[in-house]
């Protein structure tokens, strides 16, 4: 197993380019199931979760070829309708194949994903929505079995804002008979990206990015080519790295408008953020100021940036209150950040972080994807050496992160344990 060794204290400087979005690529890959043909998806990041999605598609009978950041997916030969436990437990997003398989073949059998390190993460709203579209659903031996003659448009009102649920039903409804209305839909940019791809395939989807999405079912879709949006969480992680180290970096290929909630909070913390000709410049102050955050569905503060923001607050001037409102167990990085000397107390879904002047490097363990990023950020600012183990979590969602940080002047290397 690999680990990262970081010698902290370097101010980050220079240019970095953001990779394609993981959380947009995954549903787009899955949506290729909806029609037979060859899709060319570009700006795909090299990640473990992408490999897992490719394995899922191959296990269904698709033929997938990668060339750099371009992936060709031929879905003509899909002849299986089952996603097994082995694959779904490795990556929960695999469960999204249920709707597209059902829409194209009228049947699907997909393992239930089970719990997750950051929360229970049920898929009840996905299943309820598919039932509203006319699917017959049974749960047996840990698998969801779904059947239908033809999905039919329906009005679906989500109890809570769900990114995966909105994506799942948008895909399933694309070829349903009649109109589907998704109300209280999630508004994340990744949903807009999926809708753009589906429309490229011939779907008629309006309103993605708002809380009401109208889908006029079409009789069939066709394979299409698409370029995935940039990864807003990777971009946000670099913004925080620059701010925390008192550095100055230019970030290329990011969409600042996807990160308004984060940018406003960073500006409140004293960070300079400017955008010119599509390049975002981030300059950290000598010491950031403390700021409170509450995670919310988009356009609120993203839960996927909470751990990294907390790392920054660990060295801020003052105390900050951080509330996590999306997942019930997303504070696992706290006890690892405390190993750097951070002063954090947690009560329920709220963490109070009292900024300290200096963190000190320590051996720490990654527990989930974004928690891993927060440990790297702490290590980049800490005095002395930090060793981050279990970085396979990191490889799920950040493309060559240590190489990108090293190119910005950080002292960080990956070694085999």
Which residues are the active-site residues? 116
- Asked if 163 is part of the footprint of ligand EPU (rule: CB under 6 A), the reply reads yes
State the minimum distance, in angstroms, from the CB of residue 330 to ligand EPU. 8
Q: Count other Cβ atoms within 10 Å, centred on residue 157.
A: 12
Cβ pair 249, 12 in contact under 8 A: yes
- Asked if 162 is part of the footprint of ligand EPU (rule: CB under 6 A), the reply reads yes
Residue number with CB closer to ligand EPU (327 or 405): 327
User: Three-state SS for 233?
Assistant: helix
- Asked if 157 is part of the footprint of ligand EPU (rule: CB under 6 A), the reply reads no
Token duo for residue 359: 């963190």
- Asked if 165 is part of the footprint of ligand EPU (rule: CB under 6 A), the reply reads yes
Residue number with CB closer to ligand EPU (312 or 315): 312
- Asked if 308 is part of the footprint of ligand EPU (rule: CB under 6 A), the reply reads no
Number of helices followed by number of strands (H, E) in the chain: 14, 24
- Asked if 23 is part of the footprint of ligand EPU (rule: CB under 6 A), the reply reads yes
- Asked if 125 is part of the footprint of ligand EPU (rule: CB under 6 A), the reply reads yes
Between vectors from CA 236 to CA 235 and to CA 241, what angle results, nearest 5°? 100
Nearest position to ligand EPU, beta carbon: 164
Interaction pattern, residues 352-371, with ligand EPU; x per rule: CB under 6 A: -----------------xx-
State the minimum distance, in angstroms, from the CB of residue 92 to ligand EPU. 6
Of 35, 93, 242, 380, which one interacts with ligand EPU (CB under 6 A)?
A: 93
- Asked if 413 is part of the footprint of ligand EPU (rule: CB under 6 A), the reply reads no
- Asked if 341 is part of the footprint of ligand EPU (rule: CB under 6 A), the reply reads no
- Asked if 164 is part of the footprint of ligand EPU (rule: CB under 6 A), the reply reads yes
Q: Which of 21, 44, 50, 42 is nearest to 189 (CA)?
A: 21
Q: How far apart are CA 359 and CA 337, in angstroms?
A: 9
Which of the ranges 39-47, 124-132, 282-290, 380-388 carries the binding residues for ligand EPU, by CB under 6 A? 124-132
Residue number with CB closer to ligand EPU (27 or 379): 27
Q: Which of 20, 68, 2 is nearest to 395 (CA)?
A: 2
Q: Count other Cβ atoms within 10 Å, centred on residue 239.
A: 26
Can you list the alpha helix ranges (DSSP code H) found in 230-389?
Answer: 232-244, 260-268, 306-313, 333-338, 369-381
Integer-rounded Cα Rg, in Å, for the chain is 21
Residue number with CB closer to ligand EPU (121 or 214): 121
- Asked if 113 is part of the footprint of ligand EPU (rule: CB under 6 A), the reply reads no
User: Three-state SS for 292?
Assistant: coil
Residue number with CB closer to ligand EPU (160 or 319): 160
Of 19, 25, 303, 308, which one interacts with ligand EPU (CB under 6 A)?
A: 303
Report which secondary-structure segment, H or E, holds 398: none
For residue 59, CA distances in Å to 75, 77, 171, 380 come to 11, 11, 20, 40
Q: How far apart are CA 226 and CA 24, in angstroms?
A: 11
Q: How many residues bind ligand EPU (CB under 6 A)?
A: 24
Q: Hey, which residues between 384 and 403 contact ligand EPU (CB under 6 A)? A: 397
State the minimum distance, in angstroms, from the CB of residue 24 to ligand EPU. 8
State the minimum distance, in angstroms, from the CB of residue 409 to ligand EPU. 26
Tokens 């549903």 locate to: 27
User: Three-state SS for 348?
Assistant: coil
- Asked if 21 is part of the footprint of ligand EPU (rule: CB under 6 A), the reply reads no
Residue number with CB closer to ligand EPU (125 or 359): 125
Residue number with CB closer to ligand EPU (126 or 258): 126
Q: Hey, which residues between 319 and 338 contact ligand EPU (CB under 6 A)? A: 326-327
Residues in CB range of 281: below 8 A, 6 or more apart: 248, 249, 250, 251, 272, 273, 274, 275
Between vectors from CA 193 to CA 150 and to CA 391, what angle results, nearest 5°? 110
Of 65, 76, 77, 124, which one interacts with ligand EPU (CB under 6 A)?
A: 124
Residues in CB range of 233: below 8 A, 6 or more apart: 22, 23, 302, 304, 305, 370, 397
State the minimum distance, in angstroms, from the CB of residue 27 to ligand EPU. 7
Which of the ranges 115-123, 192-200, 235-243, 342-350 carries the binding residues for ligand EPU, by CB under 6 A? 115-123
State the minimum distance, in angstroms, from the CB of residue 101 to ligand EPU. 18
Residue number with CB closer to ligand EPU (183 or 220): 183
Q: How far apart are CA 226 and CA 244, in angstroms?
A: 35
Question: Interface residues with ligand EPU (CB under 6 A)?
Answer: 23, 26, 93, 119-126, 160, 162-165, 186, 303-304, 326-327, 369-370, 397
């Amino acid at each position: 197993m690999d680990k990262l060794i970081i010698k902290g204290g370097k101010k980050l400087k220079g240019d970095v380019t953001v990779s394609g979005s993981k959380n947009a690529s995954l549903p787009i890959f899955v949506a290729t199931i909806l029609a037979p043909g060859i899709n060319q998806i570009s700006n795909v990041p090299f990640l473990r979760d992408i490999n897992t999605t490719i394995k899922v598609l191959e296990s269904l009978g698709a033929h997938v070829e990668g060339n750099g950041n371009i992936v060709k997916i031929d879905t003509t030969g899909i002849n299986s309708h089952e996603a097994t436990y082995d694959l779904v437990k490795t990556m929960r997003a695999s469960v999204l194949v249920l709707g597209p398989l059902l829409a194209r073949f009228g049947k699907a059998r997909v393992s239930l994903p089970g719990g997750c390190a950051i929360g229970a993460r049920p898929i009840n709203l996905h299943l309820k929505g598919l039932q509203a579209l006319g699917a017959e659903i049974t749960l047996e031996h840990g698998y969801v079995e779904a059947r239908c003659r033809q999905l039919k448009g329906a009005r679906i009102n989500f109890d809570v804002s769900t990114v995966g649920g909105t994506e799942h039903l948008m895909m399933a409804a694309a070829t349903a008979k009649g109109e589907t209305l998704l109300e209280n839909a999630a508004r994340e940019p990744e949903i807009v990206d999926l809708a753009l791809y589906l429309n490229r395939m011939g779907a008629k989807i309006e309103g993605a990015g708002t809380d009401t999405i109208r889908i006029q079912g079409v009789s069939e879709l066709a394979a299409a080519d698409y370029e995935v949006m940039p990864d807003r969480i990777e971009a946000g992680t670099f913004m925080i790295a620059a701010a925390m180290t008192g550095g100055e970096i230019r970030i290329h290929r990011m969409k600042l408008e996807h990160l308004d909630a984060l940018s406003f909070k960073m500006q409140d913390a004293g960070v300079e953020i400017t955008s010119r000709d599509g390049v975002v410049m981030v300059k950290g102050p000598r010491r950031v100021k403390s700021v409170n955050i509450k995670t919310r569905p988009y356009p609120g503060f993203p839960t996927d940036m909470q751990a990294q923001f907390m790392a920054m607050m660990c060295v801020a001037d003052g105390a900050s209150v951080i509330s996590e409102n999306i997942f019930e167990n997303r504070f696992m990085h706290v006890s690892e950040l405390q190993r750097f000397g951070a002063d954090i107390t947690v009560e329920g879904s709220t963490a109070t972080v009292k900024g300290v002047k200096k963190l000190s490097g320590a051996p720490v363990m990654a527990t989930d994807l974004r928690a891993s990023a927060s440990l790297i950020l702490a290590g980049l600012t800490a005095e002395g050496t930090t060793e981050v183990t279990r970085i396979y979590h990191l490889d799920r969602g950040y493309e060559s992160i240590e190489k990108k940080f090293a190119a910005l002047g950080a002292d960080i290397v990956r070694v085999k344990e």
